[in-house]
Amino acid sequence: MKPKNTYGWEQLNCPFFTSVCRRVLSPYLSGEGFVEKETGSIGEIIYKRFEVFLKIGYDAATCPNYSPGVVFGLGDRLHDVSGHLAGVPMWFALPSDHPYTTKIFWTFKTEADLERVLTEIKEQFLEPYAKPLWLNRARLEKSIANFHAGAMARGIPH
């Protein structure tokens, strides 16, 4: 077994993210028909429900006050064949007057913080904004197209 590199970027990873995410969100997502598909290199989790994916993660570069992120969309991969995001990030799907759309709104440093943040994301984002899109493929496709069109118009990598 190869020893972990504790001197590189890996030291910025949140060691408890995956376990807390599973504890807080997996029961809810399972009830909505999602299953865990895989975990990423920093502990993010990708859930699948038919053709819909939901990636729950965080930005390791914001260590020690991590910033969570959610991306959801269609397909088997986070990026399509052209390298574009195959979904929409949480900030795009929230109403434009939500604080998260203009600044880092949710942060966590401890397991208790993360539990609170994920509960708020479930209640304030997944249920009211993401769920109506994952239940309606046409609306989700339109949201993805709108995200790409807006990103292209502003020259933002997507």
Token pair 């292209």: residue? 152
Q: What is the pLDDT of residue 99?
A: 72
Helical H segments across the chain, by residue range: 17-31, 90-93, 111-121, 131-134, 137-154
Q: What is the pLDDT of residue 30?
A: 98
Q: What is the pLDDT of residue 95?
A: 83
Segment 96-150, tens digit of pLDDT: 887 766 667 789 999 999 999 999 999 999 999 999 999 999 999 999 999 888 7
Write out the DSSP string of 19-48.
HHHHHHHHHHHHHTT-EEEEE-TTS-EEEE
Q: What residues contact 59, with CB distance under 8 A and at least 6 apart? A: 66, 67, 69
Segment 46-68, tens digit of pLDDT: 999 999 999 999 999 999 999 99
- Residue 2: pLDDT band with limits 50, 70, 90: very low
Enumerate the domain spans of the chain. Answer: 9-153
